[in-house]
Amino acid sequence: MIQFPSAPAEDGDDILEMIDDRPGESEGAAPGRRASEKLWRVLVVDDDPDVHVATRFAIGRNPIAGREVELLSAYSAAEGKQVLDDHRDVAVVLLDVVMEEHDSGLKFVEWMRAGGYEKQRIILRTGQPGYAPELEVIRNYDINDYRTKGELTQTRLVTAMTAAIRTFEQFWTIDEQRLNLESFAYALAHDFRQTTRQIRTYSELVGDGLDGEAPASSALDYLSGAARRLNALVEVMSQYTLLAKPAELEVVDLPQLMDEVRATLAPILADTGGTLEAKATGACRANAALLGHVLQILVANGLQHNDHPKPHVEIRTSVRDGQCMIEVVDNGIGIEADHLEEIFEPHMRLRPTKEMPATGLGLTLSRRAVESQGGAIWCVSTPAVGSTFHVSLPMEGRA
């Protein structure tokens, strides 16, 4: 008689811990928003004290979008940066273009967007419009409005601020919804993992009790395999969620990374009888773990989706237009031109499932991983000849 252990206890604490620690809710995800949910903070950055007085008078104590407005003042770009760092819940920045320098305001915009202030809305104001033509500024910078100080009447200022604040609020709503979906995904992944562990454990116990009797033993093998595949899908889902946030970058030694990729793929190289040739030099600015995972996916695909008697993959690196270029070239089955963009979408497999079991998310994860490092990935391919995947990343030392 087969003896079963008692079912594993449901561990709700694990779910809570996973949600509390999820990426994307740490620094920069929703800093300080709750502290000012009863008011809107607006930062005025202008070297003219009269502008601050006039702005405060124009806004007064009239609520905008259902909340009162608190004005913060900075009289230079340097002061503005400090105030913004101290009050990361600022909704709108009223920014002068010409301060210490003729383009101080434009540089301030670039600093904000590069420093993680993507949601804050910006209204540029200038008394010298010739220094920064309106059409050029609107086209090249992520701002809400650009006005000369003379045309910003009280009505126009309040109208522009109302539109900017509403856009800011919509950004936060979208971000909160994304975080809620991440919470759900982590909780769901936890439940799936627990279920697949139970399926595998009990199917193995039943199999041991049957002592190899067919056809029940064969059915249990199939059940155990299905549990493993489901677990793989759960892992992929978790990775897909994790890659929604920008990656932490470092200087990555490419030859060393190639050695690690080769060592990791040794079983696949042995199984396919394929070869991997890595011609890598120098370094790039990337996340070593993510980049290594991307290269593993690309090389494994090149070896496994391959009808050549001697599967071969080559990795080459070079510098082009200030970018580190990595090329992964294989002699595999190739990809039709119509599918070169689709292969990066979820569940677009290079081959039908029966020919090559897979989750269908390897290249999707690769694109997300590369883009989270500030790079790009694309493919050039000829059917029945092979494919070349191009990965572009910042060079060492570049921000």
Segments making up each domain of the chain, as ranges:
12-23+177-242, 34-172, 250-394
Inter-residue contact 249 to 373 (CB < 8 Å)? yes
Inter-residue contact 132 to 112 (CB < 8 Å)? no
Domain boundaries 34-172, corresponding CATH code: 3.40.50.2300
pLDDT at 30 (0 to 100): 40
pLDDT at 153 (0 to 100): 82
Residue 219 neighbours by CB under 8 Å, 6+ apart: none
pLDDT at 368 (0 to 100): 86
pLDDT at 242 (0 to 100): 61
Low-confidence ranges of the chain (pLDDT < 50): 1-35, 348, 352-359, 397-399
State which H helix or E strand residue 68 sits in.
strand 68-74
Q: Is the peptide bond between 215 and the residue preceding it cis, with omega within 30 degrees of 0? A: yes
Inter-residue contact 283 to 253 (CB < 8 Å)? yes
State which H helix or E strand residue 176 sits in.
helix 154-210
pLDDT at 22 (0 to 100): 36
> What ranges make up the beta strands (E) of 226-359?
250-253, 275-279, 283-286, 312-320, 323-330
pLDDT at 26 (0 to 100): 39
Most distant pair of Cα atoms in the chain: their distance: 90
Report the distance separating Cα 47 and Cα 305, nearest Å.
Answer: 62
pLDDT at 142 (0 to 100): 80
Q: Which of 92, 111, 115 is nearest to 27 (CA)?
A: 115
pLDDT at 214 (0 to 100): 60
Task: List Cα–Cα distances, 288 to 193, 246, 248, 311, in angstroms.
Answer: 27, 14, 9, 26
pLDDT per position as a tens digit, 4-61: 344 444 443 332 232 333 334 333 334 444 445 678 999 999 999 999 999 998 888 7
Architecture of domain 250-394: 2-Layer Sandwich (3.30)
pLDDT at 147 (0 to 100): 81
Report the distance separating Cα 210 and Cα 217, nearest Å.
Answer: 7
Inter-residue contact 333 to 306 (CB < 8 Å)? yes
pLDDT at 222 (0 to 100): 65
pLDDT at 233 (0 to 100): 58
pTM (predicted TM-score): 0.49
pLDDT per position as a tens digit, 55-89: 998 888 788 888 899 999 999 999 999 999 999 89
Q: What length does the chain have?
A: 399
